[in-house]
Amino acid sequence: MRVRRQLTDLLIRRGPRLVALAGSVRLSMRHRTRCRVRYDHGDWIFRYPEGTVVNTSLMHTPPAAEDRIVADLFLHGYRPRPGDTVLDLGAGVGGEVRLFSRLVGPHGRVVAVEGHPRTFRCLRRAVALNGLANVTLVPCAVVDEPGTVRLDEHDQTHLRNALTRDGRGGVEVPGRTLAEIMSTLDLDRVDLLKMNIEGAELPALRGSSDALRHVRNLAVSCHDFLADGPGREWQRTFEGVTEVLREAGFTIRTRPDDPRPWVPYYVYASRPALVGHQQ
């Protein structure tokens, strides 16, 4: 994988337009739909009929496939409706934001929060290129106590950068609490809170438990399936997250029988009056 990446980087330095042209042909054939690839100031831009993807590498998921993944993983408990407000914590390069924006419509609102500067740059460009006028962007990490924090620099993909364990290394970013974000943006009602913040979900929820009274539904990605790895025990958050949400008055749903190792650790929480009510 590293050798392939080095060869790709070499080709990009010598002729990004040629790589983009070859990528356009290859991806159009692979996904059986038109794809136009462009390299611009360190970012790869992939234009499909269904939408535009921005990433710092040639690795990506086409918009139509991404929408299916998002609907399966994050909308299993509640599907946003026109006029809803969605708070997306850990928005990445915008894979979920496109679908959220379309579902809530012009009278709805999506707040997309992403901490890593390089990832946020891709997110910002994706929102602009897709014309997502109902999306508000917030560049910060979500933490239990406000202040400056550091995020890992993953050597393969910037989509997996978590808070550093020792507060050193990585890249320095502002950290804000869930309560502060909601208060600053006047979010007195959140219809869906999506959370995918690489192991920081439990302290973030504990640090803003009072803010949860303004939230109707949550979809939280816990990463316990990675916790058995060396030095990864901090990613075992599933039980703590479910406990915090139950104490806050939510009814919990999970998918323990799904064969994919990560899916049983997704937590879907709803206010009791909304359980079983989906659109």
Span 161-199, pLDDT tens digits: 667 666 677 789 999 999 999 999 999 999 999 999 988
Identify the bridge partners of residue 28 per DSSP, sorted by sequence position.
none
Of 86, 136, 83, 132, the C-alpha closest to 107 is 83
Whether 25 has a pLDDT exceeding 90, the answer reads no
Q: What angle do CA 207, 176, 55 make, to 5 degrees?
A: 120
Half-sphere exposure of 103 (CA within 13 A, CB side): 20
Span 112-128, pLDDT tens digits: 999 999 999 999 999 99
Residue 182 CA to residue 213 CA, distance in Å, equals 12
pLDDT at residue number 278: 43
Q: Among the residues of the chain, which ranges form H helices? A: 2-14, 16-31, 63-74, 97-104, 117-129, 178-184, 201-206, 238-247
Residue 45 CA to residue 275 CA, distance in Å, equals 39
Name the 3-class secondary structure at 248: coil
- In sequence order, what are the residues at sequence separation of 6 or more whose Cβ sits closer than 8 angstroms to the Cβ of residue 32? none
Sheet holding 85-89, edge to edge: 135-139, 109-114, 85-89, 192-195, 217-221, 266-270, 251-253
